[in-house]
Amino acid sequence: MDIIDSIILGIIQGLTEFLPVSSSGHLELGKAILGDQSVPQESLLFTVLLHFATALSTLVIFRKDILEILKSLFSFSWNEDTQFIFKIALSMIPAVIVGLLFEEQLEQLFGGSILLVGCMLLITAILLFLADKAKDTNKPVTFKNAFIIGISQAIAMLPGISRSGATISTSVLLGNDKTKAARFSFLMVIPLIFGKIAKDIIGGDLSLEGHNTVALSAGFIAAFLSGLVACTWMISLVKKSKLSYFAIYCAIVGAIAIAFALLN
């Protein structure tokens, strides 16, 4: 993988991690378009690094919220911020179970299955369209909601299902406030990403040996910077109920991906 390819894929990851169009799906499409045979061998390390970059951009955007939550945790008081932490922990359970039990099967799906990506993008489009039509409320995310949203996040481990799209859509369809839904969606993935990185490091699955570290670094920086822009933009878009635009986009890209897969 050369530097240009790495930067392109980094930008794709940074933008699509927060925009509800499936970062994993677009990475698979990007790999197919670039046709770089070195990418599949570097998929695990490269994908983890890009997700780490977008997790860092989330920390930067929500730094004030995270500090307040941590202060509440160490104050040992059962307030809204403390409850938020337990809701995040509850939402992680489905994805952790799926990740531990079906890790190898999931990794096999990230090998250029354009037909699968296309079909999953169509599902994402339907979810976004339904969420865009839902009425906005002031209802907060409950513990029950958190677990259901967590199930959506687990399903979104499939390439082509947008994680942010699935979790925000599920939250909105449950009647939650759109701004709170976006905040919960972006923060709930951070522990999973850092947990995945820690697991891979301890297990010895991540190693820079034999890889182009300059290219990997370029991709990391591109994902971080584009993630900052996309996260800020997405929060504004959710407030303005603009999810239908992304539904149309996912439907078009999904249809093109399916046609491409069937004709090749």
In the predicted model, is pLDDT for residue 129 greater than 80?
yes
Query: What is the pLDDT at residue 139?
Result: 86
CA distance 262 to 259: 5
Q: How far is CA 173 from CA 178, 253, 264, in A?
A: 10, 24, 38
CA distance 18 to 21: 8
Closest alpha carbon to 35 in 128, 114, 115: 114
CA distance 118 to 251: 9
Burial of residue 24, with CB atoms counted within 10 A of its CB: 0-12 exposed, 13-18 middle, 19 or more buried: buried
Higher pLDDT pick, 58 / 2: 58
Burial of residue 256, with CB atoms counted within 10 A of its CB: 0-12 exposed, 13-18 middle, 19 or more buried: middle
Query: What is the pLDDT at residue 248?
Result: 94
Residue 120 confidence class, pLDDT cut points 50, 70, 90: very high
Can you tell me the mean pLDDT for 221-226? 94
Report the chain's mean pLDDT, rounded to a whole number. Answer: 84
In the predicted model, is pLDDT for residue 60 greater than 80?
yes
Can you tell me the mean pLDDT for 210-219? 80
Amino acid identity of 71? K
CA distance 128 to 170: 9
Per residue in 6-47, pLDDT (tens digit) is 898 889 888 877 888 887 787 777 777 766 544 444 456 777
Residue 107 confidence class, pLDDT cut points 50, 70, 90: confident
